[in-house]
Amino acid sequence: MCHAESRKIAIGSNSLPSGADMGNKKVCYYYDPEIGNYYYEQGHPMKPHRMRMTHALLAQYGLLQHMTVLKPSPAQEKDLCKFHAEDYVSFLRRITPDNQQDHLRQLKRFNVGDDCPVFDGLYSFCQTYAGGSIGGAVKLNYEHCDIAINWAGGLHHAKKCEASGFCYVNDVVLAILELLKFHERVLYVDIDIHHGDGVEEAFYATDRVMTVSFHKFGEYFPGTGGIEDIGVGKGKYYALNVPLDDGIDDESYQSLFKPIMRKVMEVYRPGTVVLQCGADSLSGDWLGSFNLTVKGHAECVRFMKSFNVPLLLLGGGGYTLRNVARCWCYETGVALGVEVDDKVPEHEYIEYFGPDYTLHLAPSNMKNKNSREKLDRIRAKVLDNISRLPHAPSVQFQERPPDTEIPEADEDEDDNKDERKDPDDDVNVDYLRETTPSRVKMEIIEPDAKDEIEMELDKGVRETDESLNDIECLMNPTLPTEAEAPASESLHTHVEEENSKNLPEQPEDMQHD
């Protein structure tokens, strides 16, 4: 397709609100076979192994053959610096379990340690999960697929200069910045049990990105995301927060999700949607306290898919591994329009799914602390906020920044040389809002039996500063001309494996404590 056509489509892609699902979608799925080998530390709830379990389920259910399976190309330092501060990225690149004792001051400054530990291969882990999300955004921009999936992504807490809540780099922000090169408006929806604070903060002062987060609120990490937090400056009313309480079930959740998202889609008319599918909102999560089933969680995917707008599906939290794999496998099926069987097929991780060996889970009998009255109040308030939005704000399109070139290889394809160009670095990211860092304390208690953990989280603090930002003057997206747009096939190039063991020795710019 010529890119003049893509331009028209990108701008004019306002689908009918709550339109019928228009059938089969072309899906790109990002997966790196190494991802399951990264290990935060003993007793840490975040286990990248869950992506390997998800992938194994997808393979056994026969879903991989229905989509394009891509190995992400690692995001490079310059790509990460589109959002993150250079000194922070440089620190992530150089810090190792062996040298961390020499850099105590920087560990503290960047909030690395404790809940965001230094582990072997930390930087290549970040490169991999960010590479998948950015790559997915590029695929959507060029209309190579309708839905892109990166279950390793969705690490929504990371800040410009700070790790937070198991997240080091914010792949969601990086992917949205990529999508903004082609789309006037990007909608971010977050169904993780935790507030999507890092993404909200990055785009708090702009109307180019609308963020909507459904999360547990009150004495819970990260402490932000009250219903009154709606954005600042040009971004006022372009951030929505739906604060929920323990035990919310499928019906209560959808009684908010659907009317709110239907109205957001109708009024905001995004060119593309990013859905963070954190699975810690499922019933029985080790850290979560909601009571959603896989079907209830996946209903959000089904609903957002029904608008027929390009969709980026990302992972996020999720700490009961078998349920994470169940959820993301089922949601991949929803993306593909395939209803997967409830009986989990025999595969290498089958023992996780006993004693029933089913994909779906029953809700628990926990109390739903979200009363009907409270839900009605929240819905009314949020819908009222949406009604204050002008319909579909538009921007003056200027010169489009170059693409982040994220080549990736089909999993079984590794003979082509990586021929990536150096993307220019002229995307100015200083517009991203500076805030007082959240103050979060987290204690991890070593599990006594089968990964059981308890965490105590202090309410984080965030201060907004309305004076700091104006995103508008600094974002210059335009759509590609045919001449400058790379051919799709040139994106398929060999991926050089990053060897985490070959990190540079003592970095010069690290300070000794």
Instruction: List interacting residues with Zn ion (CB under 5 A).
Output: 192, 194, 278, 280, 317
Q: Which is nearer to Zn ion, 115 or 408 (CB)?
A: 115
Give the Å distances, CA to CA, from 358 to 63, 327, 346, 498. Answer: 17, 12, 11, 37
Q: Which is nearer to Zn ion, 206 or 289 (CB)?
A: 289
First to last CA, the chain: 56
**What are phi and psi for residue 266, nearest 5 degrees?**
-65, -40
**What are phi and psi for residue 184, nearest 5 degrees?**
-65, -40
**Least distance from C-beta 193 to Zn ion, angstroms?**
5
Least Cα distance to 228 among 240, 216, 214, 238 occurs for 240
165 annotated ligand-binding residue: yes
Give the dihedral sign, CA 238/239/245/247: positive
Q: Name the active-site residue from 55, 157, 195, 215.
A: 157
Least Cα distance to 118 among 192, 220, 231, 38 occurs for 38
**Least distance from C-beta 117 to Zn ion, angstroms?**
17
115 annotated ligand-binding residue: yes
Residue 218, sorted as left (phi over 0), alpha (psi -120 to 50) or beta, turns out to be: left
Amino acid occupying residue 489: E
**What are phi and psi for residue 436, nearest 5 degrees?**
-65, 130
**Least distance from C-beta 319 to Zn ion, angstroms?**
8
Amino acid occupying residue 3: H
Q: Which is nearer to Zn ion, 278 or 401 (CB)?
A: 278
Q: Which is nearer to Zn ion, 220 or 352 (CB)?
A: 220
Q: Which is nearer to Zn ion, 143 or 280 (CB)?
A: 280
**Least distance from C-beta 355 to Zn ion, angstroms?**
27
d(CA 479, CA 482): 10
**Least distance from C-beta 280 to Zn ion, angstroms?**
4
288 annotated ligand-binding residue: no
Q: Which is nearer to Zn ion, 214 or 307 (CB)?
A: 214
Q: Which is nearer to Zn ion, 192 or 331 (CB)?
A: 192
DSSP string, 223-266: ----TT----GGGTTSEEEEEE-TT--HHHHHHHHHHHHHHHHH
Closest-approach residue to Zn ion (CB): 317
280 annotated ligand-binding residue: yes
Tokens linked to 218: 């009150």
146 annotated ligand-binding residue: no
**Least distance from C-beta 58 to Zn ion, angstroms?**
22
Asked if residue 68 lies in contact with residue 410, where contact means CB atoms within 8 angstroms, the answer is: yes
Check if 144 is active-site: no
**Least distance from C-beta 282 to Zn ion, angstroms?**
11
Classify strands 68-71 and 409-410 as parallel, antiparallel or unpaired.
Answer: antiparallel
Tokens linked to 220: 């819970």
425 annotated ligand-binding residue: no
* Cis preceding-peptide flag for 222 (omega within 30 of 0): yes
218: Cβ–Cβ under 8 A, 6 or more apart, which residues?
A: 243, 245
Neighbours of 373 (CB within 10 A): 8
* Cis preceding-peptide flag for 117 (omega within 30 of 0): no
Amino acid occupying residue 110: F
d(CA 176, CA 274): 8
Q: Which is nearer to Zn ion, 236 or 459 (CB)?
A: 459
Tokens linked to 216: 């547990």
Amino acid occupying residue 451: D
d(CA 510, CA 191): 37
Chain position carrying tokens 């892109």? 148
Q: Which is nearer to Zn ion, 132 or 278 (CB)?
A: 278
**Least distance from C-beta 317 to Zn ion, angstroms?**
3
**Least distance from C-beta 320 to Zn ion, angstroms?**
12
Q: What three-state secondary structure class fits 367? A: coil
Which segments are annotated as binding site for a divalent metal cation? 192, 194, 280
Catalytic residues: 157
Which segments are annotated as binding site? 115, 165, 192, 194, 280, 319
